[in-house]
Structure 1
Amino acid sequence: MQFGIFTVGDVTTDPTTGKTPTEHERIKAMTTIAKHAEEVGLDVFATGEHHNKPFVPSSPTTMLGYIAAQTEKITLSTSTTLITTNDPVKIAEDYAMLQHLAEGRVDLMMGRGNTAPVYPWFGKDIRAGIPLALENYQLLRRLWDEEVVNWQGEYRTPLQGFTSTPRPLDGVAPFVWHGSIRSPEIAEIAAYHGDGFFANNIFWPKEHYIELINLYRQRYEHYGHGSADQAIVGLGGQVFMRKNSQDAVKEFRPYFDNAPVYGHGPSLEEFTEQTPLTVGSPEQVIEKTLAFADFFGDYQRQLFLMDHAGLPLKTVLEQLDLLGEEVVPVLRREFAARRPAHVPDNPPTHASMKAAREASSVTA
């Protein structure tokens, strides 16, 4: 099973000091966090894509390419690549280029985005969000899978005899996840293509996500990719840890209370009771994370959000130390022990997809 972190790249004032990082400081902190994630033994670093304040990661491939040059093992991903407002031709070329630079250590998560003003900024209509996502993704797959593409659709100019460059590394396109919190159409397209489905599993009770995950599993089996329990599922989560749970709650409370995404609403205690957020000891994080599989079934990727709400870099790095040293080793062992032999333990990687492609060409 893969474990990692994902960032939304928010620039938020630290409520305990009143200090707001500059955009430059926040960007450099994100790259430091990614490198430290590899150092503590995590498998994945993923960044969001945002084009509005208070967020800074507007160019994920630029950031991931920089990180790729300074790491060796960690998989570089996105926690959203905007399939609606990005041109599929640019996505195809940008992520193939990143594949080459990172020696295949790349996958990405497609999403529609949840910021309405972004659509007109890029010349799109939010009311066409679902059709845009479906059409753009169908074109993206063809651009990766076919050497020469002739195509005509509703939302961009036609293509005639077009070849995107560079071609995917070793002829194998990056593995794609689809992230959604409310759209069955996205779960359907993930299942149709045999792609992964990611539920961010943060802001709402677990019951909010189970219907889409179950739909994805059922349709994955329907399209002949394997049994429902073999579908490739990823989950998010939020944690804040200290050795002593009372210390964790005391330290995190001002960050929670003032966070732009959930501050000034339910109390910390109410939020941790109602959602997957865990604030406490490493043992409590282990217990709550293991319970995800009891509800959602066996899954392949767990990402944690740890650098949000104005937490200083030093604190985030301490969180990563606890995650890598005390939490993830136990989770790996426990999840492996409960996973049936026929259920994949990891999502597809460049190496595994390349091997499968070569094997199919030999038997063809």
Structure 2
Amino acid sequence: MQFGIFTVGDVTTDPTTGHTPSEAERIRAMVTIAQKAEEVGLDVFAAGEHHNPPFVPSSPTTMLGYIAATTERIILSTSTTLITTNDPVKIAEDYAMLQHLADGRTDLVLGRGNTGPVYPWFGQDIRQGVNLAIENYALLRRLWTEEVVDWQGHFRTPLQGFTSTPRPLDGIAPFVWHGSIRTPEIAEQAAYYGDGFFANHIFWPASHTAQMVRLYRERFEHHGHGPAANAIVGLGGQVFMAKNSQDAVRQFRPYFDNAPVYGHGPSLEDFTSQTPLTVGSPQEVIDRTLGFREYVGDYQRQLFLMDHAGLPLKTVLEQLDILGEEVVPVLRKEFAARRAAGVPDAPTHASLVAAAQASAVAEEVAA
């Protein structure tokens, strides 16, 4: 099982000091956080894509390409690549380029985002959001798997004899997770293609996430990709830790109360009881995270949101130390011990290359 962190890249005033980082300061902090994630033994660092204040990561591939040059092992992903408002031709080329620069250490989460005005900013209609996601991804797959593409659809100009460059590394496209909080059509899309489904498990109650994952698993099996239990699932999550829960709550409360996403809404206590947000001791985070398996089944990737709401870089790095030293080693051991036989690991470039080679050998033998 893979463990990592994702960032939304918000520029938020620290409510305890009044300090607001500059865009440059926040971007550099995200790079430092990614490097720290590798240092403490995490598997994945994922960056969001936003085109509006107070967020800065408008170009995930630029950031991840830089991080690739300064790391050796960690998988570089996205917490959302906007499949609806980005041209699929540009996605195909940008992420294939990143794949080469990172020696295969990359995949991506496709999503529609949560900022309505982004659609007209990029010449699209929000009322076509799901249709854009479906059509654009169908084209993206062809651009990665076919050398020469002739194509015509509803939302962009036709392609005639087009070849996306560079070609995917080793002929294997980056693995795709389809991310959604609330849209059954996206779970169906992930299942149809046999791709991963990433439920950003941070705002809705467990019952909702369980329902979405169950739908994806049932449709994954329906489309002939294997047993429902073997579908590829990822979850988001949010944590803040201290040695004891009272200190964690006291330290995190001002950040929660003023956060741009959920600040000035439900109380911290209500939010932690009704969603997967965990504010407490390392053991409480371990117990809560292990509990996710009870309602989504065995899954392959767990990402945590840790660097948001104005938390200073020093605090985030301390959180990563706790996560890497006290939490993830226990989670690895416990999830492995509980995992049912036959459940696959999260796909990596190496595993996808090996599977393609084995398939080719099998075809030769059959011929």
Shorter-chain TM-score range:
over 0.9
1:29 aligned partner, one-letter code: A
1:351 aligns with 2:330: no
Distance 2:308 2:114 in 1: 18
Question: Which residue does 1:300 correspond to in 2?
Answer: 300
Residue of structure 2 in register with 1:33 after alignment: 33
Q: Please, what TM-score do these two structures have when normalized by structure 1?
A: 0.99
Secondary structure at the residue paired with 1:69? helix
What's the secondary structure of 1:216's corresponding residue? helix
> How far 1:36 sits from its partner (Å)?
0.2
Give the aligned partner of residue 87 of structure 1.
87
Deviation at 1:223, TM superposition (A): 1.1
Taking the aligned partners of 2:337 and 2:154, their CA distance within structure 1 comes to 49
Q: Distance in 2 between matches of 1:291 and 1:18?
A: 37
2:113 and 2:268 map into 1 onto residues whose CA distance is 26
Query: How far apart in 2 are the matches of 1:223 and 1:265?
Result: 41
Aligned mates of 2:57, 2:136 — CA distance in 1: 22
Which residue does 1:184 correspond to in 2?
Answer: 184
Match of 1:234 in 2: 234
Measure the CA separation in 2 of the matches of 1:144 and 1:197.
19
Q: CA deviation at 1:254?
A: 0.5
| 1:171 paired residue number | 171
Structure 2: 5+ residue runs without aligned partners? none
Report the Cα offset of residue 212 of structure 1. 1.4
Aligned to 2:53: 53
Q: Which runs of 5+ in 1 are unaligned?
A: none
Give 1:204 deviation, angstroms.
Answer: 1.6
**Structure-to-structure mapping, 1:286-297, within 5 angstroms:** 286-297=286-297
**Residue in 2 that maps onto 1:156:** 156
Runs of 4+ in structure 1 deviating by more than 3 angstroms, as ranges, are: none
Q: Deviations over 1:117-175 (max 9, x none)?
A: 00000000000001111000000000000000000000000000000000000000000
Task: Tell me how far apart the structure 2 counterparts of residues 161 and 237 of structure 1 sit (CA, whole Å).
Answer: 43
Cα offset, 1:237, TM superposition: 0.5
Offset, 1:267 = 1.1
> Aligned ranges for residues 309-324 of structure 1 at < 5 Å?
309-324=309-324
Q: Hey, what does 1:104 align to over in structure 2?
A: 104
Q: Which residue of the partner structure matches residue 330 of structure 1?
A: 330
Residue 50 of structure 1 aligns to a residue whose secondary structure is coil
Q: Residue 208 of structure 1: CA displacement?
A: 1.7
What CA distance in whole angstroms lies between the structure 1 residues aligned with 2:340 and 2:170?
31
- Residue type of the partner of 1:114? N
**1:359 Cα deviation (Å)?**
1.1
Aligned residues: 363
Classify the secondary structure of the residue corresponding to 1:355.
helix
| Whole-angstrom CA distance in 2 between matches of 1:112 and 1:347 | 23
Amino acid at match of 2:329: P
1:130 and 1:340 mapped to 2: Cα distance?
A: 34
Q: Which amino acid aligns with 1:134?
A: I
Q: CA deviation at 1:244?
A: 1.5
Alignment of 1:145-294 (within 5 A): 145-294=145-294
Corresponding residue number in structure 2 for 1:66: 66
Q: What is the aligned-residue identity percentage?
A: 80
Q: What SS is found at the alignment partner of 1:53? A: coil
